[in-house]
Chain A
């Protein structure tokens, strides 16, 4: 079935880096834009980044611009979030999502189960 599975979360010290992965199954990853969204403990959803279906365009939230990089490998049906210079405020559950264009607007129609990132010394 259509599914996204995140991996790569864990506990990391401030200032260090981490790479999250999101593996797609049940659909052709290369046909869709993909996004990352996070949720801090007890908090709301925060959109982080989007990458176009062919990887040629990216866009970031101001809160992570310059520190996080989204990328993809369509041949592996996987996309990534590279996180540098991690801070305590980056502690959150990170979700990958499929960005589906419906014709007039887009929305996140498929979500992974989330992977937890804790930034702590």
Chain B
């Protein structure tokens, strides 16, 4: 099972853009649309914000975008807002009815 590594924390000022990386031990992370991203505010359940590497569910702001390359998936948040301050997790779903693995999570601080 692939392990996923995320930076523990990132920060940015309102209006800026930030990118959170998610690096896996196998090429499954970067090239097969298997990565999803979740936002979690303190005390709340996670929320899906990106699926299949780069697609946004209905209702998710277009300030959130995802990409994949090599062994790395990335989440970019543009036009940072105070409400974006949260924990962000990448997840690799290896396929239907098989294992999934989360990255360790990244805490975003909006300065």
Whether the pair A50, B100 counts as a contact (CB closer than 8 A) is yes
Chain B residues within 8 Å of chain A by Cβ, number: 32
B46 interface residue per 8 A CB criterion: yes
Which residue numbers of A lie inside 8 Å of B, CB to CB?
Answer: 33, 35, 37, 44-47, 50-52, 57-59, 61-62, 95, 99-109, 111-114
What's the count of A-B pairs with C-beta under 8 Å? 83
Whether the pair B98, A108 counts as a contact (CB closer than 8 A) is no
Whether the pair A44, B89 counts as a contact (CB closer than 8 A) is yes
A93 vs B48: C-alpha distance when bound (angstroms): 18
Known contacts A33-B96, A45-B105, A62 near B1 by CB under 8 Å: yes
Known contacts A95-B46, A108-B46, A114-B45, A50 near B33 by CB under 8 Å: no
- SS class, residues of chain A in contact with chain B: strand
CB within 8 Å of A: which of B67-101?
87, 89, 91, 93, 95-101
A52 vs B95: C-alpha distance when bound (angstroms): 12
